[in-house]
């Protein structure tokens, strides 16, 4: 998986207005293509390098990705990452006012 390319697509998607359907669809397709091209390295990325922001963007396309690649291991890895992010968020505390 080309992580730098994936991050570039996420940057473009972030800059694309949500109502620009064609632009959103092109970014989504490219994200899916990058994540699907090498399953073992995508799993490694999800386990070790995926940020919370990247997880958020993947959440937009995870159903389409799962349909395309038919990999239970990626779906389970994604779910575990989500649990880890939620646990991390729960441990954040706001300063007392």
- Give 51-89 pLDDT, tens digit per residue: 889 989 999 999 999 999 998 888 888 888 888 777 776
Asked if 18 and 47 touch (Cβ cutoff 8 Å), the reply is no
CA distances from 64 to 3, 60, 78, 85 (A): 19, 9, 13, 22
Phi, psi (rounded to 5 degrees) for 71:
-115, 110
Determine if the pTM surpasses 0.85: no
Instruction: Decide which of 7 and 72 is more confident.
Output: 7
Report the 10 Å Cβ neighbour count for 42.
Answer: 25
């Amino acid at each position: 998986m080309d992580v730098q390319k994936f991050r570039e697509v996420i940057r473009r998607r972030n800059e694309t207005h949500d109502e620009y359907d064609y632009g959103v669809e092109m970014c989504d397709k490219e994200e899916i293509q990058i994540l699907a091209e090498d399953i073992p390295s995508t799993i490694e990325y999800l386990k070790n390098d995926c940020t919370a922001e990247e997880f958020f963007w993947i959440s937009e396309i995870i159903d389409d990705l799962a349909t395309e690649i038919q990999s239970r291991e990626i779906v389970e890895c994604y779910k575990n990452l989500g649990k880890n992010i939620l646990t991390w968020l729960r441990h954040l505390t706001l300063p007392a006012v």
